[in-house]
Structure 1
Amino acid sequence: MFRAESVVPVRMSRVAVVAPEPALRETLVRIAEAGCVEIDLAVDGGPAVRGPAASRLQRLRAGPGPAVLSAAPPDLDALEREGRADLLAGEAQLEERLGGAVRHGAVAALAGWCPEAEMEATAARIAGAGGALVPLPTPRGVDPPTLLTGVAEGPPDHRPRTVLRSFTPLVTTYGTVPYADLDPTLPAGIAYVVMFGLMFGDAGHGLLLLALALVLRAGRPRRAAALRPLWPFVAAAGLASALAGLAYGEFFGPTGVLPVLWLAPLDEPTRLLTAAVGLGAVLLALAYGAGIVNRLREGGPAAALYATSGVAGAAVYLGLAALAGSVWLGQAVYGVVGAAVVAVGLAFAGVGAYAGTAGGAGGAVQTGVQLFDAVVRIGSNVVSFARLAAFGLTHAALGAIVWDGTTSLAGRGPAGVAVATLVFLLGNALAFALEALVAGVQALRLEFYELFSRLFETEGRPFSPWRPPVQHLTGPAGGTGASEARATTGRGPVRKEEA
């Protein structure tokens, strides 16, 4: 079921980790096991204080590596002798955080960030060690770190839906969403697969993508196991392609297996082009709506009103759309209304742009250039969606070439049938590979440059919780001769290894 929380980043709380000095280490170990607290590191501009573990790690090897934290204080000399760089790296990280603690008498505290939904469970976890998690007011002028819903981890009732998690790389590849902004993961994923489907419209090829998604879901091949979480994304793209193929009447090309339910791309390219540009216009309007909300959440009504990605830019866009409609429909009244709306939008955008300049004649010239660029960009962005039709036509043309070659060879006896089969298989394999790559890249380009450029004006800071695997030795506490160890995070056992 849809939840309102999925349209905004995970809510963060400013916290302090407080513990008696003797219990601080165990408290931090439990924080690492919880894996959902980002701890502020001391930044004073001076040289870093190197602790015993960090010094031994430097002697052992150069360069950073994976860190494992020992639950009990280890013998650092023994770790160095045995070459346990992973445990030394974990201790070095612990030393860094211990060194950043603020101490008052016998009590120490560290500040950080924690998702609100994880506060209660984390507080209960560290209470067993004598620590406490204390909510703090958010510092003025400091934005919390961003954690998208599709990236969040936690108890079963807080884990993100599989589909949402598979769409998240679309957003994180572009950048980090500011904490105040909307989380566009779900609508961005839907827009992407729709655009991909229009360009890759073939029911046969779409079914192949669905089959590939099922293979990924099964964890095959093993080398691609890291891609398993993306299987819903691949399945959605395959479904969109199959539905577009049904509309086009394409099944491994114009084979006649399916009737044309909407249009045949090669027969009605103008109609397909009009539909592509119309879809682009709708997506841009939605992007402007989200941009207005983001500007309002970031800087209040003034930022939302004067920004070219806010109300001012949306007014220019709608006014230009009305002008285009007046030409298309031959209705002068639409042109008059559109021109008035464009003028109002440019006036507000000019005020916002001029406020960001040094003023004077130079500022006026700079503002004029920015307004001209905004108008040109709107027009070019709308026209850019014509590539949905262009690459859809390319896909259909490749399918037609392969099918024409297949049918021309099939009538030349048994040998011709064999060659025709080979041409059909190899031709479709080549078309599938090339067009899947091209459609994927072009849909990503439209997503980033035409849509995301209106959603985001700044970039946030990603949430980086401290969660090295914690190793519990079954031998003497802190010893290095234990026969077996168990590494855990806050989500349960990770692995067993010989220590």
Structure 2
Amino acid sequence: MEFVNIIGHMDMLEDIAKRIVLSESIHFVNAMSEINENNFPILQAKDEVDAVIDFNYIKQYQSNLDLNEINKVYDELCDMFEIRKKYQKKIVEQDYVFLDDVNKLKRIYEEVNEENRELNRLQEEYRQIGEIENYIKKMKNVNINLDDLFKMKYIDFIMGKVLNYNMEKLKKNYENIPAIVLKLDKNQDYSMIMVFVPKVVEIEVRRVLNSLEFDELQLNFKFSGSPNQWVADIENRKRQIEKEIAIIKNKIKELKKEYINFIEVFYSKLLMQYKIEELKSNMGCTNEFFYMSGWIPSFKKKALSKYLGDYENKLIIIYKDYKNLREGLEPPTCIYNGFLLRPFESVVKLYGIPSYNELDPTAFVGLSYMFLFGAMFGDVGQGLVLLTLGLILEKKKARPNLGGVLARLGISSTVFGFLYGSVFGFEDIIEALLVRPMASIDKVLIWAVGIGVFLLSIGYLYNLINCFIKKDVENGLFSRNGLAGLVFYWLLLYLIVSNVRDAKRIIPSSLITLILVFLLILMLLKEPLANLIKGNKKLYSESKSDYYIEGGFGVLETLLSMLSNTLSFIRVGAFAINHVGLFIAFETLAKMMGNELESILMIVFGNIVIIGLEGLIVFIQGLRLEYYELFSKFFSGTGYEYNPVKL
């Protein structure tokens, strides 16, 4: 990983930023922070003099472009034209001026929005007069000029609807309401009413009606004459509105034909501009120059150079290896794994991101997790079900990482199903290629512990490599997870196993005990020994008494943790046995059923419970073994991920 600083003229900024985004190569950091920390290199070449002088007037870049407002306008246009958004990379690879496109977009929006506003107004009028018509039709047999009702001086009238159960409440309180209530119509849900009320008490009556959830008809459009004349006039107006709506819709359709290509390609440009503005937000600038800082993997320098093209010679680009930068400036970690292991990156990230000087544990986690899950949940049929569910989740992209992990665990479960000879719980369909867990309980539990010893040993080796990379003598040589801890662990296991099996020892017990004590002393003295090797005068970072008290408890914890870490893997064998036992319970219940159909349903139900409930438990137990027993040996997870600006 290298640190890159880029300096160029402001008039090239938009095009340079777009090319950098397309290269997907730079993880940007705030340039002003690096300048303030003196991490921005001093420019010395003659052709860089102007940039050096301008460097004194540098400030944080401030954008004047409101992309959210532009996006809002674009979304409304897409809704009006019913356009589906689709990103096309080839569009942003072409030359264009985004501000010119924004101005054109706004002109289109004004043109279309004017028609759309008129369309909405007509549609609302059509809706309202249609609602008025529904009420007036209920009065068509009444011989009255409605104009006279509007001209009443002391009485007003209100029309609307009320839910039927509230209408019953209204009937019971007629005598308490200073108004005349006429029921115009009634359906299953509500009653349409007309209320005549003296104007002096109109406020009080409205308050009563509102308490009954009264939905008032708004008479925003008025006609003349009798109810029949109103209905006729409304029908004429509706036909007129329908013609006007058809004309406007045709206009909008023509506008869509004219502008659809521009609007469709604008989406890609808008997405690109969001990324460009994200890039700019980390940039420093003056009136003439811009200053960028970020991280780039060495293998991506060619991609950056390719996308910059001729601009590369017009820019000042300075690369520095991270080792030559100020202390404390930690590079991001570039995590990349192949198809098989990539989904397990999410499992690692759930715990933490590996630091730059730390091995990526994804490969180890992926392989060990698949092995542990398969060993605990080995069944051909149930494994294929998990594989299918995982592929569905992965394909639909609802939860691609979970789907990918689940699919791979399903494959492992299927493989172990063949080894155990189990198909949907039945062990009489195929022969076991390795062992039947329920028939070989002792062997399965011993193998489980053996698997734990193997995986823990790999954890120790990972820690040794990490400490070697970091040049950490203390934790690499003398800590309980370092070389001293690994040798202690293997000698202790050798001593225990040889005693249990009463086997002939290559190394005498007394010598092993002596070496174990010596290793414990090394672990106790890890800090002063490491400081002696490094030549530090100060051997202890705290008082000696505090150090040795804490170290004494640390030695005791070392013994206990080695024992508990190893025995934790017994659960692998226990769940393999439990998996068989749980199905036997459902099989027994199935045999107790009254008929064959009920037995089949019980077997199906049992498999669903086993896949759903036990599968989840095994999934969690596998995570626990990874996080608590293995990661604690070597993984700090204190880094941050390499995240270049890209679409």
TM-score bucket of the superposed structures, by smaller chain: 0.7 to 0.9
Which whole-Å deviations, capped at 9, do the CAs of 1:188-207 have from their partners, x for residues lacking one? 10100110011101222112
Q: Which has the larger Rg?
A: 2
Partner in structure 2 of residue 372 of structure 1: 556
Equivalent pairs: percent with the same residue?
A: 25
Partner in structure 2 of residue 327 of structure 1: 499
| Residue 439 (1) aligns with residue 623 (2) | no
CA contact (8 A) 2:474 2:527 kept: no
Equivalences for 1:279-298 in 2 at 5 Å? Answer: 279-298=451-470
Deviation at 1:319, TM superposition (A): 2.4
**Judging changes above 3 Å, is the alpha-carbon distance between structure 1 residues 254 and 86 closer, same or farther for their aligned structure 2 residues?**
closer
Separation in 2 of the partners of 1:335 and 1:88?
A: 72
| Residue 428 (1) aligns with residue 607 (2) | yes
Deviation at 1:376, TM superposition (A): 1.0
Deviation at 1:86, TM superposition (A): 7.7
SS at match of 2:577: helix
| Aligned partner (choices 514, 531, 544) of residue 340 of structure 1 | 514
Partner in structure 2 of residue 40 of structure 1: 29
| Aligned partner (choices 374, 391, 413) of residue 197 of structure 1 | 374
CA contact (8 A) 2:420 2:436 kept: yes
Amino acid at match of 1:144: P
Amino acid at match of 1:236: R
Equivalences for 1:97-108 in 2 at 5 Å? Answer: 97-98=282-283, 100-101=284-285, 108=290
SS at match of 2:644: coil
Partner in structure 1 of residue 172 of structure 2: none
| Aligned partner (choices 38, 41, 62) of residue 51 of structure 1 | 62
Equivalences for 1:28-107 in 2 at 5 Å? Answer: 28-41=17-30, 42-43=32-33, 51-53=62-64, 72=97, 74=99, 93-98=278-283, 100-101=284-285
**Judging changes above 3 Å, is the alpha-carbon distance between structure 1 residues 299 and 20 closer, same or farther for their aligned structure 2 residues?**
same
Equivalences for 1:178-257 in 2 at 5 Å? Answer: 178-216=355-393, 219=395, 222=396, 225-228=397-400, 233-257=405-429
**Judging changes above 3 Å, is the alpha-carbon distance between structure 1 residues 233 and 87 closer, same or farther for their aligned structure 2 residues?**
closer
Q: TM-score, normalised by structure 1?
A: 0.76
SS at match of 1:110: strand
**Judging changes above 3 Å, is the alpha-carbon distance between structure 1 residues 273 and 334 closer, same or farther for their aligned structure 2 residues?**
farther
SS at match of 1:97: coil
Partner in structure 2 of residue 450 of structure 1: 629
CA contact (8 A) 2:18 2:272 kept: no
Deviation at 1:261, TM superposition (A): 3.7
SS at match of 2:586: helix
Amino acid at match of 2:371: V
CA contact (8 A) 1:54 1:91 kept: no
| Aligned partner (choices 444, 447, 450) of residue 272 of structure 1 | 444
Separation in 1 of the partners of 2:414 and 2:102?
A: 62
Q: TM-score, normalised by structure 2?
A: 0.59
**Judging changes above 3 Å, is the alpha-carbon distance between structure 1 residues 368 and 229 closer, same or farther for their aligned structure 2 residues?**
closer
Which whole-Å deviations, capped at 9, do the CAs of 1:231-280 have from their partners, x for residues lacking one? 55433322221232223232222441123443332233222111111100
CA contact (8 A) 2:67 2:274 kept: no
| Aligned partner (choices 566, 572, 578) of residue 394 of structure 1 | 578
CA contact (8 A) 2:14 2:276 kept: no
Deviation at 1:459, TM superposition (A): 1.5
| Residue 162 (1) aligns with residue 342 (2) | no
Partner in structure 1 of residue 597 of structure 2: 418
Amino acid at match of 1:404: T
**Judging changes above 3 Å, is the alpha-carbon distance between structure 1 residues 88 and 236 closer, same or farther for their aligned structure 2 residues?**
closer
Which whole-Å deviations, capped at 9, do the CAs of 1:444-475 have from their partners, x for residues lacking one? 110111111112246112212223xxxxxxxx
Separation in 2 of the partners of 1:382 and 1:432?
A: 27
Amino acid at match of 2:10: E
Equivalences for 1:470-481 in 2 at 5 Å? Answer: none
Separation in 2 of the partners of 1:90 and 1:462?
A: 18
**Judging changes above 3 Å, is the alpha-carbon distance between structure 1 residues 210 and 92 closer, same or farther for their aligned structure 2 residues?**
closer
**Judging changes above 3 Å, is the alpha-carbon distance between structure 1 residues 175 and 276 closer, same or farther for their aligned structure 2 residues?**
same
Bigger share in helix: 2
Which whole-Å deviations, capped at 9, do the CAs of 1:57-111 have from their partners, x for residues lacking one? 79x99xxxxxx999635389979998x998986575354233x25x6x9654322
Separation in 2 of the partners of 1:134 and 1:127?
A: 16
Separation in 2 of the partners of 1:395 and 1:13?
A: 51
SS at match of 2:437: coil
| Aligned partner (choices 126, 137, 140) of residue 321 of structure 2 | 137
Separation in 1 of the partners of 2:588 and 2:405?
A: 33
Which whole-Å deviations, capped at 9, do the CAs of 1:353-389 have from their partners, x for residues lacking one? 5666403212110111112112211110001111112
Amino acid at match of 1:93: E
CA contact (8 A) 1:277 1:386 kept: yes
Amino acid at match of 1:434: L
Which whole-Å deviations, capped at 9, do the CAs of 1:151-197 have from their partners, x for residues lacking one? xxxxxxxxxx3113122212222111111122221121010011001
Deviation at 1:20, TM superposition (A): 2.9
SS at match of 1:16: strand
Separation in 1 of the partners of 2:418 and 2:357?
A: 41
User: Does 442-451 or 16-25 show the bigger shift?
Assistant: 16-25
Deviation at 1:300, TM superposition (A): 4.4
**Judging changes above 3 Å, is the alpha-carbon distance between structure 1 residues 57 and 216 closer, same or farther for their aligned structure 2 residues?**
closer
User: Does 14-23 or 279-288 show the bigger shift?
Assistant: 14-23
| Residue 23 (1) aligns with residue 12 (2) | yes
Deviation at 1:118, TM superposition (A): 1.2
**Judging changes above 3 Å, is the alpha-carbon distance between structure 1 residues 54 and 360 closer, same or farther for their aligned structure 2 residues?**
farther
User: RMSD of the alignment, in Å?
Assistant: 3.4
**Judging changes above 3 Å, is the alpha-carbon distance between structure 1 residues 193 and 369 closer, same or farther for their aligned structure 2 residues?**
same
Separation in 2 of the partners of 1:341 and 1:189?
A: 35
Partner in structure 2 of residue 176 of structure 1: 353
SS at match of 1:53: coil
Separation in 2 of the partners of 1:311 and 1:247?
A: 36
